[in-house]
Homo-oligomer: A and B are copies of this chain.
Amino acid sequence: MHDFDFYNPTHIKFGRNTENEIGTILANDQIKKVLITFGLGSIKRTGLLDKVITSLEQSGIEYVEFEGIKPNPIISTANEGKDLAIKEQVEAILAVGGGSVIDSSKAIAAAAKSGIDIYDFYRGIAIETALPLYTILTLSATGSEMNNGFVLTNEKTREKFGTGSIFTSPKVSILNPELTFSVPKDQTAYGAVDTISHAIEPYFTKTNSVMFLEGYIENICFSVTRNVKIALTDPTDYNARAELMWASTMALNGLNKLGAKDFCFPSHMIEHSLSALYDIAHGAGLAIILPAWLKYFRNEKAPQIKQFAKAVFNVDDSQDGIKALENWLTDINAPIRLSDVGIPADDIEKIAENAFRLSSFWGMEKTYNQNRIVEILSLAI
């Protein structure tokens, strides 16, 4: 087992109606004024925003709204949020949404407290302080609710990548599975793909055996592959939504890589170029890259693929395991080829060039040259 350091101080409140506790939580932390950040307005339609505001008002907490964070969030929007947070002198950020909203809010929290332009965090400026961040999760996917990383796109350069520090860990995250009942089928499926992907990237790329970790990851995938089908059939199945929500949190809170040596996230690296260049959903991009990556490494990683295939899909052969993964993706209506989302095969060189440009940021500049990325993408045609 490889050495590791684990520290995750996010407080999770999981269950029905937990969003109504937000006013009390903030009041207990002596917060008097908060910036509520959210996306394109679904929380207005579902009534969640009203519930949050009622809870804040009952605890006498002032609030300012920052609306309009888009999927594949961009730095300039987060900088607008930062300006508003500074102008309004809020003491905390309350993110109500999925990964895009929470990631942007981490950037806002760090930038508002330090006054640093968010572009600079991506130029290597360390994050050494941040306003306290609270989240109310509405989508099971990114795990951002219990880690400190945030991924934004630089809309000028079309580069999508992440940063973070312990200061951008959410202080409290509220997880009510009911808040995901209204998530559309495609986003439900893509969230499941994102979860699986966070879990299996360290699993397949590590260079050592770690029995506990392998079982931990297989368990996430076992649960997600089954529960997403239940949630797609009945979007209001509380238990299935709860299993998906907790699995997505546990898939990227640090536990998913403890003891692993030399692991990396190649599918994420390549996918970020798809969503940065074509603005497709992150989970959709991952569904295309994951099988291609496995096919590329089908010989080198055969024993691990075989173990995964047995544990998650109950098939005995590594080739059948890759096929079972593709079948599962197809079953949940996720794309598995570039053409499924309208990306022409001719673009592969351009995508690989974009991905390779950020490979040193991912620590993969030596193992994933542009050629290798092209070869992997070629298996997704």
Q: Give residues in A with beta carbon < 8 Å to B.
A: 1-16, 18, 177, 209-212, 215-216, 218-220, 222-223, 226-227, 238-239, 242-243, 246-247, 250, 258-259
Contact = CB atoms under 8 A, between A and B. Distances in A.
A57 to B, nearest CB: 24
Contact of A212 (B2, B247, B258, B259): B247
10 contacts: A1-B177, A1-B246, A2-B15, A3-B15, A4-B15, A7-B12, A212-B223, A215-B218, A216-B216, A246-B259
Contacts of A13: 5
B15 A246 contact: no
B242 A226 contact: no
Contact of A242 (B1, B9, B220, B223): B1
A221 to B, nearest CB: 10
Contacts of A243: 1, 210-212
Nearest to A215: B219
A14 B213 CA distance: 14
Contacts of A247: 212
Contact of A258 (B8, B14, B223): B14
A7 B11 contact: yes
Q: Most chain-B Cβ atoms within 10 A of its Cβ — which of A210, A215, A218? A: A215
A14 B5 contact: yes
Contacts of A239: 1, 209
Report how many copies the assembly holds: 2
Contact of A220 (B11, B209, B212): B212
A148 to B, nearest CB: 14
Given A1-B177, A259-B242, A212 B250 contact: yes
Nearest to A172: B7
A222 B215 contact: yes
Nearest to A208: B239
A9 B6 CA distance: 10
Given A1-B14, A7-B9, A215-B218, 16 more contacts: A1-B177, A1-B238, A1-B239, A1-B242, A4-B14, A4-B15, A5-B11, A5-B13, A6-B11, A6-B12, A7-B10, A7-B12, A8-B8, A211-B223, A212-B223, A212-B243
10 A-B pairs with least C-beta separation: A3-B15, A215-B219, A1-B242, A7-B11, A6-B12, A9-B9, A211-B223, A212-B223, A4-B14, A211-B243
Contacts of A222: 211, 215
A3 B14 contact: yes
Contacts of A242: 1, 259
Contacts of A215: 215, 218-219, 222-223
A236 to B, nearest CB: 15
Nearest to A173: B6
Contacts of A216: 216, 219
A209 B223 CA distance: 12
A18 B209 CA distance: 21
